């Protein structure tokens, strides 16, 4: 198949992957993203635990603009106006899994011995979310605008966490671990969302080979990384390390956006995808 028909979908986690773990800056990856999008070489698709409200505020600074995105750990797929994934080019929000109010109701109904060890975003003010995450106040308010998941800090034992996991599973709610927080979600995952989006692109580009590339640094990214055609594990400065024995999964040479650039540049070179310097 001609190289011009190779179309990569780059599914990227944000915190600790495309964004620096401490500064939340995308530099220098933002320059590479501008080249990829500007030259129509492929698509860069954020796939993150962040909310849609958070992502909207970030899109210009990370050079992605308004694009297809997956938020809240695979629970929400957003397709903006002008994109056609499915039967319409109108904006679409697809909710996978459980809604936010349902998740909060399940948390409220937990035994007190478990509930006391959960400190979720709904339990925190914007200032408290800011203190827990390192985000600014404005960003923390956006982080509280949730649709389908609840991040939380856990202060209980491992045994109690397993009990919590079992109880929530009966309500079809999963517990996933991210880089800093645990997350209550419905039965939606990043890899499921990635597969749905890739299928739509394959249908739209029958003359091209659509490939998936996934990059992430947290345990909640591993399924997506291993399910992609090419996966990259980003080193996590916070000490939450993940690993894989899959032959198509590699580890980036550096954390954050610097490692992101190295990983994508290396993979593009191997695939014969050429970006002009302009």
Look at residue 253 in the predicted model and tell me its pLDDT.
94
Architecture in CATH for domain 100-185: 2-Layer Sandwich (3.30)
Whether the per-residue pLDDT at 176 is higher than 90: the answer is: no
Residue 85: cis peptide before it, omega within 30 degrees of 0: no
The Cα 189–Cα 202 span in angstroms is: 20
Q: How confident is the model at residue 33 (pLDDT cuts 50, 70, 90)?
A: very high
Tell me what the mean pLDDT of segment 19-27 comes to.
88
Tell me what the mean pLDDT of segment 179-187 comes to.
87
Whether the per-residue pLDDT at 90 is higher than 70: the answer is: no
Query: Domains of the chain: which residue ranges?
Result: 3-95+189-271, 100-185
Tell me what the mean pLDDT of segment 216-223 comes to.
91
**Mean pLDDT computed over every residue of the chain:** 91
Buried b (16+ CB within 10 A) or exposed e, 160-184: ebeebeeebeebebbbbebbbbbbb
Look at residue 97 in the predicted model and tell me its pLDDT.
86
Q: How confident is the model at residue 271 (pLDDT cuts 50, 70, 90)?
A: very high
Tell me what the mean pLDDT of segment 203-227 comes to.
94
Q: Residue 231 in contact with residue 2, Cβ under 8 Å?
A: no
Q: Residue 216 in contact with residue 17, Cβ under 8 Å?
A: yes
In terms of DSSP bridges, do strands 6-12 and 209-216 run parallel, antiparallel, or are they unpaired?
Answer: parallel
Look at residue 59 in the predicted model and tell me its pLDDT.
81
Q: 117 or 22: which carries more pLDDT confidence? A: 117
Query: 3-state DSSP helix/strand/coil percent for the chain, to nearest 5?
Result: 35, 20, 40
Tell me what the mean pLDDT of segment 224-229 comes to.
98
Which residues are paired to 78 by β-bridges? 69, 93
Tell me what the mean pLDDT of segment 109-119 comes to.
98
Tell me what the mean pLDDT of segment 134-143 comes to.
92
Look at residue 1 in the predicted model and tell me its pLDDT.
40
Tell me what the mean pLDDT of segment 162-176 comes to.
95
Tell me what the mean pLDDT of segment 184-208 comes to.
93
Return the CATH number of the domain spanning residue range 3-95+189-271: 3.40.50.1000
Q: How confident is the model at residue 22 (pLDDT cuts 50, 70, 90)?
A: confident
- The reply to whether domains 3-95+189-271 and 100-185 share a CATH topology is no
């Amino acid at each position: 198949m001609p190289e011009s028909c190779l179309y990569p979908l780059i599914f990227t986690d944000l915190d600790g992957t495309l964004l620096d773990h401490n500064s939340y800056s995308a530099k220098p990856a933002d320059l590479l993203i501008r080249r990829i999008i500007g030259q129509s070489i492929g698509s860069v698709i954020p796939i993150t635990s962040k909310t849609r409200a958070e992502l909207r505020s970030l899109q210009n600074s990370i050079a992605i603009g308004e694009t297809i995105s997956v938020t809240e750990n695979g629970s929400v797929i957003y397709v903006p106006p002008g994109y056609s994934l499915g039967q319409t080019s109108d904006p679409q929000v697809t909710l996978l899994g459980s809604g936010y109010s349902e998740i909060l109701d399940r948390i409220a109904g937990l035994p007190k011995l478990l509930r006391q060890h959960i400190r979720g975003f709904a339990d925190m003010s914007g200032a408290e979310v800011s203190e827990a995450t390192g985000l600014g106040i404005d960003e923390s308010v956006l982080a509280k605008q949730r649709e389908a998941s609840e991040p939380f800090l856990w202060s209980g034992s491992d045994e109690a966490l397993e009990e919590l996991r079992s109880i929530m599973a009966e309500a079809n709610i999963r517990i996933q671990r991210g880089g800093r927080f645990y997350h209550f979600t419905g039965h939606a995952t990043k890899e499921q969302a990635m597969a749905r989006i890739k299928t739509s692109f394959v249908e739209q580009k029958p003359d091209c080979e659509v490939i998936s590339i996934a990059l992430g640094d947290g345990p909640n990214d591993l399924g997506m990384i291993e399910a992609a055609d090419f996966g990259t594990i980003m080193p996590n400065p916070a000490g939450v390390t993940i690993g894989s024995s899959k032959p198509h999964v590699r580890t980036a040479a550096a954390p954050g956006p610097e490692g992101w650039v190295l990983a994508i540049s290396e993979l593009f070179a191997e695939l014969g995808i050429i970006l002009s310097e302009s």
